[in-house]
Structure 1
Amino acid sequence: MNKLIQKILVPIDGSESSKKALEMGIAIAKASSAQLTVLEVVEDFGPLPGYYEAAPPGKDRVKWISEQRFEKVHPILDGSEIRWDRKVMEGYAADEIVRVADEGKYDLIVIGSRGLSPIGRFLVGSVSDRVVHHAHCSVTIVR
């Protein structure tokens, strides 16, 4: 029997909406016996207010930021009883999510929505919008 969903990609960014997306991804993975990958993309530009601060002097910025994010979701994953792994990338989030999903032949991306206003979406767009329009697999957006 060919399963519809075998590999799920869940990008996290430290936000509450990405935590909710991870919870949804875990539920889908349980129901379909799928493998889940947590993807952290650290943006090339500096820290974002409200998500994380700049890395302390002498610390690897990407590693330090990803550790901060992962601390928030690790307990959820440990108690989930699903198969999971973790990837950390650096770059523009939407591009990296789409690239990892394509290269890894993922069946589903489960991503959080930060809930930008219509004006904010028009001016700067959103990662979830860009992923929906460029991914070659199904995308579920969790509010």
Structure 2
Amino acid sequence: MADETVYAGKCFCGAVEVTVSGEPVAMGYCHCRSCQHWSAGPINSFTLWQPQAVRVTKGGEHVESFQKTDTSVRKFCDTCGGHLYSEHPLWGVTDVYAPIIPDLAFVPTLHVNYEDTILHIMDGLPKFRDMPAEMGGSGEQLPE
């Protein structure tokens, strides 16, 4: 739609630029071991989008992929190694990492894979042991 909001982001060096349009499906934090190892950090702040809302607008030739599991195809810049997004084909969404979209107001609503957390966060948001039931998880919530 012509009146959709478009947000622009880029990798660490700026060789790759992406846009997302409309509104994200969900925003939150992932604590899984896979995100921890991939990011070398304790937590991933995610913004989930319909795949058609995500476009590489510059530097597509620099986008490389790495797939360790069936749930994620991780995309990164081959120039700087900067992380861009992860395609989640089983869930039908694309996770564009919140920090690369500076103009998007990040409003998280949940924590997923909290059973793996190494950084406990007391923010009042639901903390799912794994994933919400509608995403194939147990739907079990853990206390803060």
Structure having the higher strand fraction is: 2
Tell me, yes or no, whether TM beats 0.5: no
| TM superposition score normalised by structure 1 | 0.29
| Bigger relative CO (Cα 8 Å, ≥ 6 apart) | 1
